Amino acid sequence: MATFVTLPKLTTLDLSVNQAKNIEAKDLADALKHDKKLITLNLNSKRIGDVGAQHLADALKHNRTIATLKLLRNSIHDVGAQYFADALKHNTTLNTLKLSENQIGDIGAQSFADALKHNMTLTTLDLSENQIGEVGAQYFADSLQCNTVTVIKLTTLYISENQIGESGSKYFANALKHNMTLTILGLSDSGIGDAGAQYLADALQYNTTLTALNISGNRIADVGAQYLADALEHNT
């Protein structure tokens, strides 16, 4: 069993790639409940699974210093996502959560979308390369429509390399017409074609806060590109 000691000046801890088991994730989580210095924790590629996710999520309900948590490639599914989403309803310091390359689907997306309505500190959420479809996209879009300067603080959402398709892009486009805080939206390699490009182009004529939109690697042809080009002439 691993033992984690508290180092009074440690602000960044990188344990990526090391093969921690669930019990080690529990030991680390127990330490985080009492730690008062750590700001950045990198647990990429540790395969902690949903059980490890549960331990860490519980720690986030108590920890008041962690600002960045990286959990890329950790075999986390919808159940694990639900644990983290619940933690976000209680945590007041985490501003960046990276969960790309896991197995989170529409149910997990729904949990996060709901949590965003209650969280006032998270600014960056990365769910790229998961298993989110158009239903999950709709959950996020509905949440983003509530995202005004007085409610949710999310400014960056990466949901690239999921399966949101044309319908999902339409949901996000509708959200962008109302959203007032999102500045970066990643939708690359998401199965978006010319119709999706048209939806997004129309939204850009209304949105005044988005500064970066990544739609590379999609199925957008000349027609879709023209929609976007025309929209940029009116976007200020």
Which pLDDT tens digit goes with each residue over 165-200? 999 999 999 999 999 999 999 999 999 999 999 999
Q: pLDDT class for 234, splitting at 50, 70, 90? A: confident
Average confidence (pLDDT) over 224-235? 89
Q: pLDDT class for 1, splitting at 50, 70, 90? A: very low
pLDDT at 101 over 60: yes
Phi, psi values for residue 163, rounded to 5°:
-115, 55
Three-state DSSP class for 227? Answer: helix
Annotated domain spans of the chain = 1-103, 107-236
Q: Alpha helix (H) ranges present in 16-72?
A: 22-32, 49-60
Q: Do domains 1-103 and 107-236 have the same CATH topology?
A: yes
Q: Which amino acid is at 48?
A: I
pLDDT in tens, 128-168: 999 999 999 999 999 998 755 556 689 999 999 999 999 99
d(CA 116, CA 132): 17
Instruction: Name the residue among 159, 204, 212 with its Cα closest to residue 179.
Output: 204
Q: Yes or no: is domain 107-236 CATH 3.80.10.10?
A: yes
Instruction: Name the residue among 22, 105, 93, 88 with its Cα closest to residue 64.
Output: 93
With a threshold of 0.75, does the pTM exceed it?
yes
pLDDT at 80 over 70: yes
pLDDT at 126 over 90: yes
* E strand spans, 28-175: 40-42, 68-70, 96-98, 124-126, 156-158
pLDDT at 220 over 70: yes
Instruction: Name the residue among 37, 92, 94, 89 with its Cα closest to residue 71.
Output: 94
List Cβ neighbours of 138 (8 Å cut-off, separation of 6 or more).
167, 168, 171
CATH topology of domain 1-103: 3.80.10
pLDDT at 34 over 80: yes
